[in-house]
Amino acid sequence: MIVDAHQHFWDPARGDYGWLKPGNPIHRVFDTNDLRPLLIETGVDATILVQAAPTPAETDYLLAIAGRAPWVLGVVGWIDLLAADAADAVRRRAADPLFLGVRPMLQDLPDPGWILQRALEPALNAIIAEGLVFDALILSHQLAAITELAMRHPQLPIVLDHAAKPRLGNVEAMGRWSRAIETLAALPNVTCKLSGLLTELPPDGSRDDIVRAIGVLFDLFGRERLIWGSDWPVLTLAGDYRDWFELAREAVAARDSSAVRAAMGDNAIRIYRPRRP
């Protein structure tokens, strides 16, 4: 099975996408009718739907869509991890078989160490107890905090979104990123998504920069801890669905052709453990 482990749906009229401003080319409704033809054309069998707004209402919206779309394996949603009842909220969400994980939008927070607050421990422990996944949406300067989180909670399955958004093509920044990623990848409870990289490529960058970054990630995480995702429709700002699918698949195959099946689907199934029949 081929799985897109990172895609979004949204409707800006809902009013809780603070980052999605009018005038942005993706400031419009994106729903199943937009994505389904791309999946069929590319041969992708199923997807995992990921939150894009820090509200419970958006998570409800996504779960309702997943309930109507049998090819959506489940939702990585948002929970207020600092709320007094955060652990109970985790347990309530986990009772829904379509709820697979939690994603706080850490990249938007001014404190790179926000996730290390002791007040978050009850919610994090509940995520572990309920068998959910923690998606880490961060920028490269936040890698040390996620490394500390993974060391504190070795039973917490952490999936690093978009490889922490490396500054592709910047030799000095990529060196720092590689060293930080190497430290994080040494921890067995961390998996990395091959997603979002095409969008991170600067106008003067080369697709070879993406291939090199994927090579670094493959060498560090190995064939069992890489997951492919499209980050559609954000992807449309930089390229089309099939183009990114083929670029990522070929970059993995260049390292190990036998690893393509794992990275393009099997690992996502094993790590997110969808309960949908």
CATH number at residue 230: 3.20.20.140
Q: What is the pTM of this model?
A: 0.97
Q: Say if 277 falls within a structural domain.
A: no
Q: If you average pLDDT over every residue of the chain, what do you get? A: 97
Domains of the chain: total: 1
* Each residue's pLDDT tens digit, 23-52: 999 999 999 999 999 999 999 999 999 999
Percent of the chain at pLDDT exceeding 90 = 99
Number of residues that make up the chain = 277
- Contact criterion met (CB below 8 Å) for 32 and 65: yes
- Contact criterion met (CB below 8 Å) for 217 and 163: yes
Q: Say if 87 falls within a structural domain.
A: yes
Q: Say if 117 falls within a structural domain.
A: yes
Helices and strands in the chain, H and E counts: 11, 8
The contacts of residue 28 (CB under 8 Å, 6+ apart) are 12
pLDDT of residue 98: 98
Residue 214's H or E segment, with its range, is: helix 207-221
* Each residue's pLDDT tens digit, 175-224: 999 999 999 999 999 999 999 999 999 999 999 999 999 999 999 999 99
Cis peptide before 233 (omega within 30 of 0): yes
- Identify which of 160, 80, 97 has the alpha carbon closest to the alpha carbon of residue 131: 97
Task: Residue 242: give the domain boundaries.
Answer: 3-272
